[in-house]
A and B are shown apart, each in its own frame.
Chain A
Amino acid sequence: MSETKNEYKLLLPLVPILAIIPYLALVQGWESIDAAIFIVAAPFVAFPTILILGQVYNKNKTWKNTWKEGGILGLGALGVSLSAAIWILFDYLNGTAHFADHSVSHWLEWISFDVLQSDYTMTETRILGMGVWIDSLTLMLMFVATFLCFLICWFAIGYMTTDPINEDSNHRFFAEFVLFSLGMFGMVLADNFLWLFVFWEIMGLCSYLLIGFYYWKDSAAKAAKKAFLTTRVGDVFLMVGLFILYDIYGSLEFSVVFDDPSTGVGGALVDSGQMFWALTMLFIGAVGKSAQFPLHVWLPDAMEGPTPVSALIHAATMVNAGLYLVARMMPFVDVHHHGIAGLEDFGIMVAYIGGITAFMAASIAFVQNDIKKVLAYSTMSQLAYIFTGLGSALYFLNTGDYHAGYFVLGASLFHLFNHAMAKGMLFMASGSVIHEVHHAHNLLSLSHGDGDHHDFDPQDMRNMGGLASKMPVTATAMMFGSMSIIGIPLIGGFWSKEGIIAETWAAYFHGESAMLVPAILILATAGMTGFYMSRMWFMTFAGKPKNEVVDYVYENTPWIKEPLLILTLITAIGGFALALYGVIDFLSNESTHLAMHGDHGVVDSIITQLEHAFLPEDSQIRMVGWVTIFLALFVGPIMAARIHGGSLKDGETATPIVGWLVNLSGKFGTQDVSSLAESDLAEALQNRLYFDDLYEGIIARTVIPFADLCAWFDRNVIDGIIKQIESNSVLGSVQIRRITTGSARDYILMATVGALSIVALLLGVSN
């Protein structure tokens, strides 16, 4: 591909679009918060534009090569969103803008109405508006969403437009992509639950459209349906939760609800039982969206979509929505700030769901051979960590231990950030691997003259191995991403995962015996994460090539490497840097800006941070921390290396640290696990612990008979009544037809008689 260099010229038309936000900031002197509307408006404009232009100019050369079938437009729109988001972020971080009033910028009153009460009086007008709500949670997710959407769109330009099976339909992809981004941006910025729900549903729709992008494939169509229906189960509960909230507070505006959560409409004290159900309903919605047990079944199947979509759903947007919703619930339980006491059980329930999902997903990930499926289960597992952390935060805040509560809340949200960055990169890197392996296979089958590549699965790791020297950038990126997910000390996810595990144990040590189960589960999962992530990396990049295709793999598709490099940098050093700047306090709203601890310079700050991470004062917590590090750093990866590791071949080179790691993996000897792979447990894990079969069985026994019953009722009762009316009227018409003569004169007579009768009637009435 010699035109690699020239491709970036295509970005030139974007310069005026990207200049909008700097122009408003520097020349027009806008407030950053007023630009928030651009974050949503830019994709809102781009969506129909790409769709219509794509339909009109389909197959047009300029459209295809210069505009990349709309990809460049989408990138421009997301660039505007990103620049606006960064502007707002900087204004808050350097103190130009303040959280004091949560910076609600109210754009308009969307619906306003009076309420008729049971004693037939009207209450004051209630208003559902739309606006922006900004606190540290919003800022973090806004940055994650806009930044990753932008990078993934960049990646998708390279990935989708060189994919031969998407011939001329990529405008559909890019249009749906920006709509999906719009959903996430809007949801994060919304200042009331109603708009949050509207954008939440936009995401649900787009997940359906994008997972089913290859709609001609039966499996993709089914996966799309499954994702849509499963999340819909959660959404119904979410709606119920919103109804209860509205009933309690008489409003869904954050500013009204969070002002004083302990008093409802008219100053009535809020009942903790009612609140428990409201939060539980909202939580079920979050469980569906974030693919937690028991509504997790859709997520692995969602891998049927194109790889950029997997990255988008798993890192930047959809699954974070559920976490966002749960993180939003904190004011309800925070007893130090007008929260409602007596909701500890809710926090424990959240932690249990998280713990169970983390363990279950990690164990299923052990046996997956599809590179994307491993990542999918890893997403589930890591999100479950965050849920466990949020559950602990809910518990602590409700029992009054707000220091621990805020710390674990901050750690959970920091893990969300680390996970999003690492997982976004991992998916793009896996996309790069899949893409190049697929291309190599096409090349190979061309040179062999056999056009048969239907049996070959480019996503199957059993076809890979030894790619470290072929794809240096991807191998490095994936290594740092996996390290961040595993929680290798000093890298990315370590800083946040450690906090979650420690505080969940702390909840147990402080006397809540029920927290023992999630605490043990997530501790074990730390080691399991070490195993399955290392297994995936070693299977793909280390050892001997398992297929001749590997020799033909080259890393040369344009547009793919840049996002990987940027995210590798963030994953490798971003976690540590942000931890140094007190991001955990920032995210839990305890401090309003990022700053280093103390005034004693960088070195001192680093030492404090390391001390805090490795040598906490509480000896029990220190023990937990060291066990976690031992499991994640040694047990898991070494087991994986024994099974799948292997040195580089002579004469092959890889980037320094990757080469070292690959050669290291060859030194642990080998272990044959084929007997294990045939055990019942492996079989059960292969079948995803039979959850799909279970749900299918339940649906077959309940929903389908009920649907049959409804169909019978419809056919025989409703249709029966209508058919009876129809046949009766036919019979009646036949009878009436006898008296018609067909003579015009008779009709005139009848018309006259009719007119006279009407006149007579009118006269009778008026008299």
Chain B
Amino acid sequence: MIDPSWIAGLGVILFGIGLLGAFSRSNGIIVLMCIEVMLNAANLNFVAGAAHYGDVNGWVFTAIAIAIAAAEVAIGLAIFLSLYSTQETISLDEASTLKN
């Protein structure tokens, strides 16, 4: 069996990739995908922990997190759709009307 610390390391790497992507990319869809990657990094840790400690809670949390992620993506995509229909862009750099 793989040592859980390796899996935790993989989770950290995945999370870092996701975070970096969310910071650096301007395409909204890509940012959403990066957020998914971060969520899955956390899920990976849950699953690993569940397998290691033989505790079912980890899997339950993962299932819930996946469901929430799906809902979040649905909302995110809806926001970008309406953003596109009003602004004709999904670039986060151009969607900056909140600036004074």
| B92 interfacial contact with A, CB 8 Å | yes
Q: Are A743 and B19 in contact (CB under 8 A)?
A: no
8 Å CB contacts to A: which residues of B51-86?
A: none
| B93 interfacial contact with A, CB 8 Å | yes
| A765 interfacial contact with B, CB 8 Å | no
| A117 interfacial contact with B, CB 8 Å | no
A744 — which chain B residues lie within 8 A by C-beta? Answer: 28, 31, 92, 95
Contact partner of B99 among A741, A745, A748, CB < 8 A? Answer: A741
A748 to B32, CA, bound (A): 12
A724 — which chain B residues lie within 8 A by C-beta? Answer: none
A558 to B97, CA, bound (A): 77
Chain B residue with minimal CB distance to A739? B100
Q: Are B98 and A745 in contact (CB under 8 A)?
A: no
Q: Are B98 and A748 in contact (CB under 8 A)?
A: no
| B22 interfacial contact with A, CB 8 Å | yes
A749 to B19, CA, bound (A): 9
Chain A residue with minimal CB distance to B35? A748
Give B residues with C-beta under 8 Å from A. 19, 22-24, 26, 28, 31, 92-93, 95-100
B76: shortest Cβ distance to chain A, in Å?
11
| A9 interfacial contact with B, CB 8 Å | no
Contact status of A737 and B100, CB under 8 A, knowing A745-B23, A745-B24, A749-B23 = yes
A737 — which chain B residues lie within 8 A by C-beta? Answer: 100
A13: shortest Cβ distance to chain B, in Å?
61
A745 to B19, CA, bound (A): 10
Beyond known contacts A743-B96, A744-B28, A748-B22: 4 more, CB 8 A cutoff: A742-B96, A742-B98, A748-B31, A752-B19
B25: shortest Cβ distance to chain A, in Å?
8
A268 to B93, CA, bound (A): 83
B26 — which chain A residues lie within 8 A by C-beta? Answer: 745
A742 — which chain B residues lie within 8 A by C-beta? Answer: 96-100
B57: shortest Cβ distance to chain A, in Å?
21
**Size band of the interface chain A makes with B:** 10 to 19
Chain A residue with minimal CB distance to B24? A745
Would you call the interface of chain B mostly helix, strand, loop, or mixed?
A: loop
A741 to B92, CA, bound (A): 12
Q: Are B96 and A741 in contact (CB under 8 A)?
A: yes
Chain B residue with minimal CB distance to A749? B23
A107 to B19, CA, bound (A): 70
A740 — which chain B residues lie within 8 A by C-beta? Answer: 98-100
B98 — which chain A residues lie within 8 A by C-beta? Answer: 740, 742
8 Å CB contacts to B: which residues of A722-750?
A: 737-738, 740-745, 748-749
19 A-B residue pairs with CB within 8 Å: A740-B98, A740-B99, A740-B100, A741-B96, A742-B97, A742-B98, A742-B100, A743-B92, A743-B93, A743-B96, A744-B28, A745-B22, A745-B23, A745-B24, A745-B26, A745-B31, A745-B92, A748-B31, A749-B23
A738 to B22, CA, bound (A): 24
A738 — which chain B residues lie within 8 A by C-beta? Answer: 100
- Residue interface bits A93-106, CB-to-B below 8 A is 1, else 0: 00000000000000
A745 — which chain B residues lie within 8 A by C-beta? Answer: 22-24, 26, 31, 92
B48: shortest Cβ distance to chain A, in Å?
20
A743 to B97, CA, bound (A): 9
A370 to B97, CA, bound (A): 75
Chain B residue with minimal CB distance to A737? B100
B99 — which chain A residues lie within 8 A by C-beta? Answer: 740-743
A254 to B55, CA, bound (A): 68
Chain A residue with minimal CB distance to B28? A744
A689 to B72, CA, bound (A): 80
A695: shortest Cβ distance to chain B, in Å?
60
B100 — which chain A residues lie within 8 A by C-beta? Answer: 737-738, 740, 742
Chain A residue with minimal CB distance to B96? A742
B28 — which chain A residues lie within 8 A by C-beta? Answer: 744
A749 — which chain B residues lie within 8 A by C-beta? Answer: 23
A745 to B100, CA, bound (A): 17
Q: Are A748 and B23 in contact (CB under 8 A)?
A: yes
B93 — which chain A residues lie within 8 A by C-beta? Answer: 743
A745 to B22, CA, bound (A): 7
B97 — which chain A residues lie within 8 A by C-beta? Answer: 742
A752 to B35, CA, bound (A): 12
A629 to B93, CA, bound (A): 105
B62: shortest Cβ distance to chain A, in Å?
21
- Residue interface bits A222-256, CB-to-B below 8 A is 1, else 0: 00000000000000000000000000000000000
A-B pairs, top 6 by smallest CB distance, nearest first, are A742-B99, A742-B96, A744-B92, A742-B98, A737-B100, A748-B22
